[in-house]
Structure 1
Amino acid sequence: MGGEGAIAAARRGEQAVTEPALSRRQELELIGLVRDHYPDDFGLDDELWSRHSLTDVINRRFQVSLDPTDVAGYLLAWGIGPREPTDRACRLCVAEVTDWMDREYPAIVRTAREHQAELYWVGRTRLQGASPSADVLSAVSTRGRTRFMLTAPSVDRSLPREFLLRLSGRDGRTVHAVVDGSWTRVEWPRRIPARIVLHPLPSCGRTA
């Protein structure tokens, strides 16, 4: 989605855009509505936001009839979606990440399969144009599944333990997650269940 109602239109001006279903005011209201809230706060059976649960909230709140495909455009505009591994690294780490993908990543994929676990790529970006601004924490699986949350920027920049627990789900699914340089190792939660396995993407400590 782009145009007047897309927060990211200015920074994604090279992409083709269409008229959005939500106005800019409605989009800002939506961001404020879900910021620091989870889907189950709205009575939805989803522990982290997805395009489906966000669609439910949009349609109820604004009395429209969007489908998840429409809402996927908003997620892309917000910086949520698949990214190349090298795009998750600062320019100083691109070569190291490329080497890591060749040497270590295949073993991570095999281990996740052996554990019958979903493999996610976890990262963070700043949503520009919203007031107050928001940090977007996202987990994109190798199967294309996207889970995310919006939080108000905080002095505490650590990777939220609650985010990882909700990614695993109430049924305690085993998950593997490649964590990009948005967080250093010391910013990872210290105590997480063994079913949540974190893998650091090579990083010099700078964010992409």
Structure 2
Amino acid sequence: MKVAVVDVKRLSPVSQEDLRRRVVAAVESGRTQAEVAETFGVGLRSVSRWVNTFRASGNKGLKARKRGRRPEEQKALTARAQARVKRAVVGKFPDQLALPGLVWTRGQIAELIERWFGIRLSRVTIGKYLRSWGLSPQKPIRVAYERDPEAAAGWVERDYPAIAARGRKEQAVILWLDQTGLRSDAAVAATWAPTGQTPVVPKAGVRFGVNAMSAISNKGELYFTVFTGGFNASIMIGFLKRLIRQLDRKIYLIADRHPVHRARLLTDWLARHHDRIEMHFLPGYCPELNPVELLNGDVKHHVTATTNPRTKSELAAATRTHLRRRQNQPDHVRALFGKEEVRYAAD
């Protein structure tokens, strides 16, 4: 018989304390937390929290407390204080304000508010303030310390527009190029499973990897090669030879400053084929400006994070299959240029 779910917040403080004690006693008697949660009709997280509190503080941690905010939480931030905190979160990193880390968390913001204004706020309250300021949790883009912001801005505002104008004049195709590696021991993507039961996914015990090199255009064209072993100028030249055979237009190839891209062997080959292909380089340490980085992430997600290649040949075959699928989906390739960082290259 299924037990009805208990709304703990509606219970009196005394009833809450009694429930906590009975739940903890059941777990301490040897029953699993999942069984106890189902028996008492409470959430598994609540059971885990109460048990951890008991083990850390004993019975006093389970005692009923007076409801409402703590005295130090009664005050609300003034409009001026809110504006000051928002400026700090938007315009600075935590370490610039003597706080640990490079990204803001609600805990760090709470610590900053207590330091500046002497007000201690809960993480729930901090979250409400952040949302009211128009902020949301987002995964940041990693930027190298060596990155030159002026060079990046110059590329977007001056260098690339000049290349695009020349390309239109010569009726050339502009392709962005990048390489990526795929490994058998890559992290597995999340999956659905019963609460409290971590799923087990079989992966090959032997480590192996393959490499892929892709070139895409903002019109949805995709060209690629999959190879094993190290990346060198000979592999690059072989790929470029295929490009000039497949395309009857001049190619403007945009790539990062990988040492192979500037190798003497490749430079000499490009000089001999200048009428068919030119290579242009992105500013250093600016991978976010290359839309192929997004394709690389797509390939890794679909090939190594959600499938289970058991051999190097299977991994290479899965990589080719996915890239061929994307070749037949030009709309998907064009959509890569819609992300803010690479939107400059969409036209």
TM-score by length of 2: 0.31
Greater strand percent: which structure? Answer: 1
Greater helix percent: which structure? Answer: 2
TM-score by length of 1: 0.49
**Greater relative CO (CA pairs within 8 A, separation 6+):** 1
Q: Report which of the two structures shows the higher radius of gyration computed on alpha carbons.
A: 2
